[in-house]
Amino acid sequence: MEKDITIYDIARELELSPTTISRALNDHPSVNKNTKQRISEAAAQMGYRSNLFASNLRKQRTNTIGMIVPRLDSPFHSAVIAGIEKIANEEGYNLIISQSLETLHKEVANAKTMFDSRVDGLLVSLSFETDSLEHFEQFINRGIPVIFYDRVTEHKNCTNIIIDNLQAAYKATTHLIEQGCTNIVHITGNLKRNVYADRLKGYKYALIDHNLPFTESNVLKSQLTEEAGKLAAEQILAMNPLPDGIFVSNDTCAVSCLRTLKQAGISIPRDMAVIGFNNDLTSRVVEPNLTTINYPGQEMGEVAVRVLLMQMNGTGEKIPSNTINLRSELIIRESSLRGKASPKKKDILL
């Protein structure tokens, strides 16, 4: 195996000092243009690779941002990552991404890896199981900014990037009620997480405001995966009476549930109107197209990394509060329009 070429190898080859080689490769003005050119050509010919990691450590910066997501196979988190990578790359930062797989144990291990990798800042969407932020305190104590997005919790030293999940769920449930639904099932995730707790509140408040009873058995808790959608559909089919509306906390689960119900002979939306959440690609290809909440994943990623960069560069005082709310909207499609004409040219936004 060939060893890495160092500045000392180049110095010996050109009979120059290692200091001159180092300065030339870093474009230092004390080295004249011809010498820089000569050193650059020799470095390329000899296969020299700059050790950016070691160089950045000397500057107390690694130009690396860490990111912990619940699952990499989530369309929403893929959109968030795209937004983060776009801005991070433009600003000259690399991104290290890991997934907690919805467990606290893996999230703690990921946080340690990020800390040991000396990331300059950390972006996190919390796992289903997370009930303590202790594993992030080492970052906060060292002055390394931590930003929580989507799945967040309160911390006086951390900024949260979210949408108003309560309002979005209220709007979705109200739409089902306006379509004539009176027995609405809500499929949700782990209620430890703000997103699902707030969506459940929005669902409840809409029922109360429209004089409809809240029934605990109409709330189905799940992992919100494709398989969870099938299982939820089977639970719904066993209900008596059958519900006439379903509000699901993500599109992956909603689409799977919708397909399973259709296979069982349920007409969507005539028998049951269905609404999802996130506006994933699957919501636009399933038949009928899925009514959903547009959750701006890429925008959330861009905002999160911009705020992180501001804090990393010492300009965090420009952030007016610890929570930044992004706008969401209800996109009405055929899956929820009971007895009404489907939108022909474009989705209806509310």
| Percent composition of the chain: helix, strand, coil (DSSP 3-state, to 5) | 45, 15, 40
Q: Distance between the two ends of the chain, CA-based, in angstroms?
A: 62
| Cβ count within 10 A of residue 6 | 15
Output the furthest CA–CA distance in the chain (Å, rounded). Answer: 89
How big is the CA angle at 226 (ends 223 and 228), to the nearest 5 degrees? 40
Q: Does domain 7-50 have CATH number 1.10.287.130?
A: no
pTM summary value: 0.80
CATH number listed for the domain at residues 64-164+297-327:
3.40.50.2300
Amino acid of residue 327: R
Q: Do domains 64-164+297-327 and 165-295+330-349 have the same CATH topology?
A: yes
Q: Class assignment of domain 165-295+330-349?
A: alpha beta
Residue 229's nearest CA partner among 263, 180, 271, 178 is 263
Give the pLDDT of the chain (350 residues) as one tens digit per residue: 557 788 899 999 999 998 898 888 888 888 999 999 999 899 888 888 766 555 555 556 788 999 999 999 999 999 999 999 999 999 999 999 999 999 999 999 999 999 988 899 999 999 999 999 999 999 999 899 999 999 999 999 999 999 999 999 999 999 999 999 999 999 999 999 999 999 999 999 999 999 999 999 999 999 999 999 999 999 999 999 999 999 999 999 999 999 999 999 999 999 999 999 999 999 999 999 999 999 999 999 999 999 999 999 876 554 556 899 999 999 999 999 986 544 444 456 66
CA distance readout (Å), 135 to 114, 153, 344: 11, 14, 50
Q: Cis (ω within 30 of 0) for the bond into 288? A: yes
Domain spans in the chain, listed from the N-terminal domain onward: 7-50, 64-164+297-327, 165-295+330-349
